[in-house]
Amino acid sequence: MDISILKKSPSLTEKVVFMIRPLAPLSMVSEMPGSYYKSLRYPNKKMLCGLIENVLGWHFNAADRKAILKMKKKNKLNDFNYAMGSTYIPLLMDYFDISGKTEIRQMKSMCFYKDLWNRGYRRKDSYKHINGCRNIDKDVLAEYHMLFQKVDADDRLSSKDKSNMKQSWFNKNLGRIPFYYTTPSQREYIGLDGIYCFHFMMDPMLYQILSTSLKENNLGYLGNSEGWVDLNLNKE
Query: Amino acid identity of 184?
Result: P
Nearest to 196 by CA among 12, 23, 30: 23
Whole-number Å distance between alpha carbons of 198 and 194: 13
Q: Render pLDDT for 96-134 as a digit per residue (tens, 0 to 9).
A: 999 988 999 999 999 999 998 888 878 878 888 888 788
Residue 203: other Cβ atoms inside 10 A:
23
Q: What is the mean pLDDT of residues 76-102?
A: 78
- Whole-number pLDDT of residue 76: 66
- Whole-number pLDDT of residue 224: 87
- Whole-number pLDDT of residue 125: 83
Q: How does residue 211 score in pLDDT terms, banded at 50, 70 and 90?
A: very high
Query: Amino acid identity of 42?
Result: Y
Percent of the chain with pLDDT over 90: 54
**Residue 182 bridge partners (DSSP):** 120
- Whole-number pLDDT of residue 84: 58
**Does the pTM exceed 0.75?**
yes
Backbone conformation region of residue 57, classed left if phi is above 0, alpha if psi is from -120 to 50, else beta: left
Domain chopping of the chain, boundaries: 4-116+195-235, 123-179
Angle, CA 52 vertex, CA 46 and CA 56 arms, to 5°: 140
- Whole-number pLDDT of residue 129: 84
Q: Render pLDDT for 58-69 as a digit per residue (tens, 0 to 9).
A: 999 889 988 888
CATH of domain 4-116+195-235: 3.30.70
Q: Render pLDDT for 15-44 as a digit per residue (tens, 0 to 9).
A: 999 999 999 999 998 876 667 889 999 999
- Whole-number pLDDT of residue 124: 79
User: Is the predicted pLDDT of residue 83 greater than 60, yes or no?
Assistant: no
Backbone conformation region of residue 229, classed left if phi is above 0, alpha if psi is from -120 to 50, else beta: beta
User: Is the predicted pLDDT of residue 192 greater than 80, yes or no?
Assistant: yes
- Whole-number pLDDT of residue 156: 92
